[in-house]
Amino acid sequence: MTATVTISKEWIPRIAAFCCNWCSYAGADLAGTSRIQYPSAVRIIRVNCTGRIDPEFVLNALDKGADGVLVSGCHPGDCHYTSGNLKMRARWTLIQMAIEQAGINPDRIRLQWASASEGQKFADGVRELTEKVKNLGPFRRGWQ
C-alpha cells in the first residue's frame, strides 16, 4: 500500500497576528474549537492587551518575514484594562503612516475588534487579510 502526499506549491501569505489575551485570543480559540476554517499560515502571538503593542512590534514582524500583520483586540469599551484598545486605536493611524513612509502598502496590516464569543469574526478577519496580502504578493526574506 502506498500513500501519496500532495504538497501544494501555491504561495500562502504568512500573517503575524497579535491577539489580546482576554478577547481575541479566546476568539481564536473558539474558532478552533468550533472547527471554523481559516488560513493556517497565521501565527498568533498572545499579548495581555493591544495597548501593549508597540508600533515597533508591527514593523519588526514585517522586517522579520511576515507578509502581513493583524492586530486583534477587545471592542472599544470592553477592554480588560479599561482603555488599552483605545490607545492602540490612537496609535494605529501612526503605524499606518509609518508603514506608508517605509514604502509598504498599508493593506498589509489590519486592526480589528473581536470578542471572545466572535470566533467567526476573528476567522473572517484573518481570511480577509490573507486574501488582500495574497493579491499584493510576497514581502519577506523568510522568517528569521
Q: Which stretch binds other proteins (CB under 8 A): 5-13, 40-48, 52-60, 118-126?
A: 52-60
Measured in degrees and rounded to the nearest 5, phi and psi for residue 90 equal -65, -35
For residue 95, CA distances in Å to 71, 99, 126, 136 come to 11, 6, 19, 19
Q: Which stretch binds other proteins (CB under 8 A): 2-10, 15-23, 87-95, 107-115?
A: 87-95
Residue 128 half-sphere exposure toward CB, CA atoms < 13 A = 12
Out of 12, 36, 45, 98, the residue judged to bind other proteins by CB under 8 A: 98
CB of 57 to other proteins, least distance (A): 10
| Residue 82 engages other proteins in binding (rule: CB under 8 A) | no
Out of 34, 46, 63, 82, the residue judged to bind other proteins by CB under 8 A: 63
Q: Chain-centre distance of CA 2, in angstroms?
A: 39
Out of 91, 108, 110, 121, the residue judged to bind other proteins by CB under 8 A: 91
Q: How many helices (H) and strands (E) does the chain have?
A: 4, 4
Residue for grid cell 501565527: 43
Out of 11, 34, 60, 77, the residue judged to bind other proteins by CB under 8 A: 60
